[in-house]
């Protein structure tokens, strides 16, 4: 997968060189390039923002540097996907990450200030798939940290990036539930014992216990997810897992 990131703060993305995604880049599974939006300005001050029409606080990102950047980066055949992190977007989720992981080319447009001139996205939508995504109901100063989170969620789903594909299956949100609790040695630690069933070697009983833990934890911490699950079961028939 190829990923281009456009930002006025390229330094935000220096952490891409470390950890899982860093190795994926070295291994040639992910080709990530970070671009400075100011490289597509033409004035002496490399201006990227201006005051909003209609008034109000804050600044708006000017359209032309974005158009220049996107004309340089989007594939002319329309196969790129433009991801615009914004608190006004659709809520990002594991199913959305799975969808993006099948894309061949992602371009992240990281806005700052009060966002990008709205015409840019209409213009871009005539050239590629455009998706505005939010991490959740809170406000960040810009799209950079959100883009990093989305890229990590998407990148680890690209085949080969996570060494053991099994570890992708049994984790929170993959089946619509929160993950079961995990334990390692020693079996008793500071007076606390590991649940005995995990030491039993009885794999069916362990699976059953883990499933019950998932359901209990999800009901307690994220009852909204149980409602989604019930909805899906109604649509797909009983016992059909979310995929």
Residues that bind ligand 6GU (CB under 6 A): 85-87, 133-136, 138-140, 142-143, 146
Q: How far is the CB of 219 from ligand 6GU (least distance, A)?
A: 26
Cβ closer to ligand 6GU: 82 or 177?
82
Interhelix angle for 19-26 vs 144-155, to 10°? 60
CB under 8 Å to 3, separation ≥6 — which residues? 30, 31, 32, 33, 105, 106, 107, 108, 151, 155
What is d(CA 166, CA 164) in angstroms, rounded to the nearest whole number?
Answer: 5
Phi, psi for 239 (deg, rounded to 5): 75, 5
Q: How far is the CB of 148 from ligand 6GU (least distance, A)?
A: 10
Q: How far is the CB of 180 from ligand 6GU (least distance, A)?
A: 28
Residue 46 — left, alpha, or beta (φ > 0 → left; ψ -120 to 50 → alpha)? Answer: left
Cβ closer to ligand 6GU: 32 or 133?
133
Q: How far is the CB of 100 from ligand 6GU (least distance, A)?
A: 14
For residue 61, the cross-strand partners are 49, 116
Q: How far is the CB of 90 from ligand 6GU (least distance, A)?
A: 10
The secondary structure of residue 194, as a DSSP letter, is P
Q: How far is the CB of 104 from ligand 6GU (least distance, A)?
A: 22
Cβ closer to ligand 6GU: 1 or 146?
146
The alpha-helical segments, DSSP class H, found in 126-222 are 144-155, 166-169, 203-221
Number of Cβ within 10 Å of residue 195's Cβ equals 13
Which helix (H) or strand (E) element contains residue 142? none
Cβ closer to ligand 6GU: 4 or 214?
4
Cβ closer to ligand 6GU: 143 or 176?
143
Cβ closer to ligand 6GU: 5 or 135?
135
What is d(CA 73, CA 105) in angstroms, rounded to the nearest whole number?
Answer: 10
């Amino acid at each position: 997968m190829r990923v281009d990131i456009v930002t006025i703060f390229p330094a935000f993305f220096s952490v891409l060189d470390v950890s899982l995604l860093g190795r994926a880049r070295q291994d040639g599974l992910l080709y990530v390039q970070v671009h400075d939006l100011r490289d597509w300005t033409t004035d002496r001050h490399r201006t990227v923002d201006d005051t909003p029409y209609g008034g109000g606080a804050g600044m708006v990102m000017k359209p032309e540097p974005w158009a220049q950047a996107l004309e340089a980066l989007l594939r002319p055949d329309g196969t790129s996907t433009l991801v615009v992190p914004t608190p006004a977007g659709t809520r990002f989720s594991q199913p959305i990450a799975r969808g993006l992981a099948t894309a061949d080319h992602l371009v992240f447009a990281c806005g700052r200030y009060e966002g990008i001139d709205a015409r840019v996205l209409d213009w871009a939508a005539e050239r590629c798939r455009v998706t505005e995504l939010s991490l959740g109901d809170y406000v960040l100063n810009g799209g950079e940290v959100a883009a990093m989170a989305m890229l990590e969620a998407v990148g680890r789903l690209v085949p080969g990036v996570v060494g053991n594909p099994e570890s992708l299956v049994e984790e929170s949100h993959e089946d619509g539930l929160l993950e079961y609790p995990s334990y390692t040695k020693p079996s008793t630690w500071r007076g606390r014992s590991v649940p005995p069933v995990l030491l039993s070697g009885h794999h069916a009983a362990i699976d059953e216990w883990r499933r019950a833990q998932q359901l209990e934890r999800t009901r307690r911490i994220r009852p909204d997810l149980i409602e989604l699950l019930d909805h899906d079961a109604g649509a797909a028939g009983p016992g059909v897992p979310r995929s």
